Structure 1
Amino acid sequence: MTKSIGANPGHAATYYAASARDKRIRPSLEGELNADICVIGAGFTGISAALQLAETGYSVIVVEADRIGFGASGRNGGQIVNGYSRDLDTIAKRYGPDRAARLGEMSLEGGRIIRERVAKYGIDCDLIDGGFFAAFTDKQVREMGEVRATWQKHGHDGLEMVSKSEVSKYVKADRYVGGMIDRHGGHIHPLDLVLGEAAAVESLGGKIFENSKVIEIDTGAQPYVRTERGMVRAKFVLVCGNAYMSGLAPKITEKMMPVSSQVMATEPLDAKLIEELLPANYCVEDANYVLDYYRRTADNRLLYGGGIGYGGQDPANLTGVIRPNMLKTFPQLKDVKIDYAWSGNFALTLTRIPHMGKLSDTVYFSHGDSGHGVTTTHLLGKILGEAVHGQASRFDVWSSLQAYPFPGGRMFRVPLTALGAWWYGLRDKLGV
């Protein structure tokens, strides 16, 4: 399917929505249906779980309040970043070496799942290998070296340190003193990826209903999911709404906070210019607490993201937040037009570790990938499918990681979290 720029009703006005290869609108759920599994949410987690289960032979129905990939799955930076939002040393100190080892075993799997599905189902999503982590200070370089050493203990052989003189192989910017590359990283058009995976679910007999907001979940022995105009009765229900749950399941939402991140895409740049800026075509993210991330697109735009809005609040001027940072990195783009600017919410947990568990013996959930979702959602969606199939050993590891409500409740969680982010941001600026 060829790519074209154009309207895509029901999606935010993003570059991804405009350039998506598949703009079909699926029907809304009407009436009562039965299935082995009902999945709530057609983002990466829900679609990953649905595909795992459909491949195993289950009948699957996915219900989505808006459009496939409407939330963070279709709005993110499109970077395949391995691991989690907390490093494995921190996980070991917090949860013990045994569980850190188990998470370490799984830490590259999300990226492998993406590549395997792209190949198996012929998903055209502009997949490019390679990622670069950029350091502003010698301290950040040392910390990257420590992370690399830890990763190597867990079998990650794709990390290589980059000296200051070598930075220009990956990014033409004077801001960085070094960094680290991940040859197992990469980047994709995320909306095309989730749409391709959704089409794979449908090819195996699964059904996906858009514009079908769930208003009730029954968690009994024979659970059901009710939408405004329909109902699905199932043997199991998987709740995969993440930051767009809107209070549907308070036991989940009280342990996460929606957080917005802002992204913009320039007009298409001259091929020679974009190749000069990012010669290896690796995606880039820096090492600050509130980080910037950027990459080339297939049509030679620079896609640049950053900023953060706790509670899911968007700034009044999206480009006013991101463009100054882009120009600090690439001042030669001062006259370049910005074609698209948008934001999207991801689900943040207090521990910055995903929260998996059960609402009952028949209702499972996964949420809270905390800004590290492209790979982690694919892993955890697969693990949800395994658990439903009776292979729960990996699910049990994740569900044993304790999650907590944010301090201050709904009223004070945002200012308290923002204060913490301000403190770490100040440390980045001071280089301490």
Structure 2
Amino acid sequence: MSLAASMRKPAAAWRRPGARGGGGPRRRGVVVLLLALAYAAGTLMFLLAGRLSGGGPGVEVASSSPLQRPRRHAAPPPSPPQPGSVYRSHLVFERLWPSMRDDATLVASASSLSSSASWRRSMLMTSQYQNSGEPWMPCVNSRLIRSELPPSNGYLMIEANGGLNQQRLSICDAVAVASLLNAILVIPTFHLNSVWRDASKFGDIFDEDHFIETLREHVRVVKKLPEDVLLRFNHNISSIPNMRTKAYSSPNHYVQKVLPKLLELGVVRIAPFSNRLAQSVPSNIQALRCLVNYHALRFAEPIRNLAEDLVGRMMKKSYLTGGNYVSVHLRFEEDMVAFSCCTYDGGLKEKTEMDNARERSWRGKFRRHGQVINPEANRRDGKCPLTPLEVGMMLRGMGFDNTTSLYVASGKIYNSEKYMAPLGQMFPLLATKDSLALPEELAQFKMGSL
């Protein structure tokens, strides 16, 4: 029989002798079922083993089944911030306050214990440094060269911008530049700051006559430009050329760039003038700066009189420490916080307020192309203004206890109710000009930044 013929035999011819007709398919079904159960059991054991070994829900299980989607790995947790890059002082204060609060009984009992040897003497009552026996001597007189002033090369006008401290430094630099140029300095004007909105003139803050007289032998100073000079510019100050100068310019820059224009026109103007002279200058120029700062710049009489009254009242309040007290100048106004680009603990509300303050005062300066604001780096680099809370903890760490009278000088503190409260907790004997002076005493300075 041929192979082809044998292939044409019916299927029954291939059965084994004695085999039943339906046994084969049933046996195969049982085998398939057992294999499926074994596969399911193995898969379950694999998953359980993964969970018990710590794999958890983030473990990816490989599968050849096209119906089973592979699980995604869980996102890695964010890396913790670097030490010193996040404001946490409020948390530190909460942890330390219970131990600080134990000193609260000192205020109540100090008067009865002040004569007792057991009473811990205040830092203000004890000298911390040994006197070397060599008194401090001013170096201004030894470095200044007095000689007859030569004929001037013209008039110098400057506009001092910034806060009171920056304005004071600008005035010192203006006198130094006038000396370099052999120019007559016109009493400086003040830029109207968008934050303080203080329209005070030089004479409202400083004693003009004393300023002019103190500098008489070194730099000529006048209160305003002469009429003939104003007439040349149609009495319009803005028509006088503004010699825009880079920050921290050297004395040579003024001699080489500004002096020729001064000789040509007889008057030049520099605005703004904040930090426009280098810090490193010849010793005689630096001595002139010192003369201005420590001698020529004296507050106007109304300010001096009120200041003397406030000092007397603070000394009376500080009877626990023999009339001694600590005075601090807090720099935590809204503009200072905004300009620093630092973040604190105010969340989204703080961010919105600071963004608005930056835009209001600096008009897009912080949104320029390439400008990167990195609050964490600023804090690590020590560029963030101290909060009143941090100032208080620093003073307590230095040893000043809550019997210390503290005078706080500052502008309007940002979010003052929140940030001033801890300082008041640490120093109950805290005072400001508003708590020491009568309303009518402050009324005359209402339009200024005092």
Fold-level similarity (TM above 0.5) = no
Name whichever structure is richer in helix by fraction. 2
Instruction: Give the TM-score normalised by structure 2.
Output: 0.21
- When normalised by structure 1's length, the TM-score is 0.22
User: Higher relative CO (CA 8 A, sep ≥ 6), structure 1 or 2?
Assistant: 1
Structure (1/2) with the larger strand percentage: 1
